[in-house]
Amino acid sequence: MKLSIQSLTGGQSHVLAGSAAGRKLLAALIESTPAVTAPEKIFLDFAGIDVATVSYLRESVIGYRDFTRAAHQNIYPIVANPTPAVIEELEHLLDARNDVLWCCWIDAEDKITSYRVLGDLDPAQRQTFDKVRELGSSTAPQLADRFPDLGIGTTAWNNRLSGLAAKGLLVETRQGKTKTFRPVLEGS
């Protein structure tokens, strides 16, 4: 699902600024969020937006990601089609928060043309994320069995995987007591 930021903000401005305006967009995003049972990517489409300030992005994009990850475990927000200026502001925000966020570019046919993770993961999170990307999907016991030389137990793997899912980088699915994790953007 794609949500146009320009449409949700009334299309009046190509510059989005301020905490209050960010909270207004957050309310519109929450109102536009569907009820889902299966994992759903929500593309926050910044096409037509030239600049969005840190305070605006904190209240809207990060606020929405945090809301959806806490309240709607199957919603995975992804920033789409940001300009270099929007990316710069997002990176300042994410660096200050020691946080990360998916970012992608979508063409006219709604196909993802490229994607990346904005922000930096700590070394343990990076290692875990890279292992899941390498395998395509994994469980904590599988990681412990596959990489015993790393000396990381199942509980530690599970904690790392859950932390990455909370940040919206990994999709978490459960079958019985087993949780499987995969990157939100496949093949990433």
pLDDT single digits (tens) 117-154: 999 999 999 999 999 999 999 999 999 999 999 899 99
**CA dist., res. 8 & res. 165, Å (int):** 27
**CA dist., res. 72 & res. 30, Å (int):** 10
CA geometry: angle 129, 132, 137, nearest 5 deg: 145
**CA dist., res. 154 & res. 100, Å (int):** 24
Average confidence score pLDDT of the chain: 92
Sorting pLDDT into bands at 50, 70 and 90, what band is 72? low
**Nearest one of 87, 85, 67 to 77, comparing CA atoms:** 67
pLDDT average, residue stretch 42-51: 95
**CA dist., res. 129 & res. 121, Å (int):** 9
**DSSP classification of residue 148:** G
Query: What pLDDT, on a 0 to 100 scale, did the predictor assign at position 188?
Result: 47
**CA dist., res. 184 & res. 80, Å (int):** 14
Does the pLDDT at position 35 exceed 90?
no
Q: What percentage of residues in the chain have a pLDDT greater than 70?
A: 98
Sorting pLDDT into bands at 50, 70 and 90, what band is 67? very high
